[in-house]
Amino acid sequence: MKDFIVIGGGQAGLSIAYYLKKQGQDFLVVDANAEVGAPWLKRWDSLKLFTPSEFNNLPGFPFPHKKGHYASKYDVADYLKQYVSTFDIPIRFNEKIITLKKEGSHFILKSEGNVYKAKNVIVSTGPFHTPFIPACHSKIADPIFQIHSEYYKNANQLQDGDTLVVGAGDSGVQILKDISETNRTVYFSGTTNIATLPQEILGKTLWWWFKKIGFLTVTKYSWIGKKLVSGRQPVIGTNVKKLFKKPNIHCVGRTLDTDKYDIVFEEKTISSIKNIIWATGFKPNFEWIENEQLDADNYPKNYRGVSTIEGLYYLGLPWLHTRGSATLGGVKNDAKYLSQYILKTMPSINTAQKETIKELIST
């Protein structure tokens, strides 16, 4: 029986583990992957963060690159490994939790091979669970290579010939740029009305300006926050208009339907495509948590990570509280709040202990 089990060993799970360690809690992190940083290493090779190093810190440990550096996926994975080693965070790997339920005053967690018990559980599995691909993909002829952006590494995975990228978010745009540099014909499906922001303005990073004007601390409950949550997020750091002007990129509008080799778009039907990358996002999956209440977007109902089920908490969800809640450098704020909330609600800790721990947290 653990005081806490943290599900997920990414940036959210490690951030709360840092505070649990400072509190002297008996806790364990369980992670479905084989190593720290594995979800980052699975992503495409040319991936770069759009936040500079000084905005990528987890609590208590600066990101080990010079100011203004835009990290690769390898930089992030190495940083997370250093973090675990520095703070000696206990993690059990290759343990995907498939059911979680509360029995009386504690929780039962089951993986394929083990059963765990805990008084409290913190779910830190992030926002990216089940890759979403439109249903029309099933009607495409088998010889056409299809892959979701989660599994795309580089253009060496692709067959020779024309390639289609579907999706107008950061992933779709970065992958489109990556493939276009092979000089093959690339079709882009999605809206071209994409808001973009540069990484630097007037000699300062975009995130410096965001912090200066308070954008990073706007909550989802404020008027501005509600507008931002419901709006389309801009692409940061890629000049999309310039990218779309490349002679080997052709924008064809939304994908409407498919029929074997014929891909039907808003602007034309194309039959020459040999590869499709679906950068069409993810759907959340919390169905494995018994009796949890989900909102209209299928995320658990909560306030700043505190669930409707006593003793069950969440970290790393998009807009858990602010725009930065699901980012590498922003999750620490939610983790600190949650750790302080836990202190206030744990009857087993006396007042003197709470004050000592609060002092540790503040440093």
**89 in any annotated domain:** yes
Q: What is the Cα–Cα distance from 52 to 70, expressed in whole angstroms?
A: 5
Specify the range with the lowest mean pLDDT, choosing from 26-40, 151-165, 211-225: 211-225
Regarding whether 145 and 108 lie in a shared domain, the answer is no
Domain edge (last residue) among 278, 302, 337: 278
Q: Are residue 136 and residue 272 in the same domain, yes or no?
A: yes
Task: Give the pLDDT band (50/70/90) at residue 360.
Answer: low
* Residue 323 belongs to a domain: yes
Give residue 11's domain range. 2-129+284-362
Q: Are residues 67 and 143 in the same domain?
A: no
Residue 29 within any structural domain of the chain? yes
| Residue 204 within any structural domain of the chain | no
User: Which of 278, 293, 309 is a domain's end point?
Assistant: 278
Q: How many CA atoms lie within 13 A of 40 on its CB side?
A: 22
Asked if residue 123 lies in contact with residue 312, where contact means CB atoms within 8 angstroms, the answer is: yes
CA distance 295 to 96: 24
pLDDT of 152: 96
**Are residues 83 and 158 located together in one domain of the fold?**
no
Residues 29, 157, single domain; the answer is: no
Side chain identity at residue 198, one-letter code: P
Between 195 and 162, where is the model more confident? 162
pLDDT digits (tens, 9 = 90+) for 274-325: 999 999 999 999 999 999 999 998 999 999 999 999 999 999 999 899 888 8
**12 pLDDT band (50/70/90 cuts)?**
very high
- pLDDT tens digits for 72-125? 999 999 999 999 999 999 999 999 999 999 999 999 999 999 999 999 999 999
CA 13 to chain centre: 12
* Contact predicate 332/59, CB 8 Å: yes
What's the pLDDT score for residue 229? 76
Query: Is residue 350's pLDDT more than 60?
Result: no
Average pLDDT for 256-281: 96
In a domain, 104, yes or no: yes
Other CB atoms closer than 10 Å to residue 313's CB: what's the count?
24
Q: Is the domain of 259 the same as that of 354?
A: no
Examine the domain organization and report whether 8 and 95 are in the same domain: yes
So what's the pLDDT on residue 347?
A: 63
- Mark which of 255, 278, 301 sits at the end of a domain: 278
Pairing of strands 200-201, 204-205: antiparallel
Within this chain, do residues 271 and 291 fall inside the same structural domain, yes or no?
A: no
Reported confidence tier of residue 197, pLDDT bands at 50, 70, 90 = confident
Express as a percent the part of the chain with pLDDT over 70.
Answer: 95
Looking at the domain assignment, is residue 330 inside a domain? Answer: yes
Same domain, 305 and 254: no
User: How many domains is the chain built from?
Assistant: 2
Please give the C-alpha separations between residue 250 and each of 56, 186, 244, 272, in angstroms, as whole numbers: 35, 6, 7, 13
Give the model's pLDDT for residue 220.
Answer: 85
Do 297 and 264 fall within a single domain? no
Helix axes 351-362, 331-345, angle to 10 degrees: 170
Q: Could you write out the DSSP letters of every residue in 204-240?
A: EEHHHHHHHHTGGG-BTTSHHHHHHHHSPPPEES--H
Q: Can you give the pLDDT at residue 190?
A: 95
Asked if the structure places residue 214 within a domain, the reply is no
Residue 363 is predicted with a pLDDT of 47
Same domain? For 88 and 146 the reply is: no
Say which CATH number the domain at 310 has: 3.50.50.60
Are 25 and 115 part of one and the same domain? yes
In a domain, 227, yes or no: no
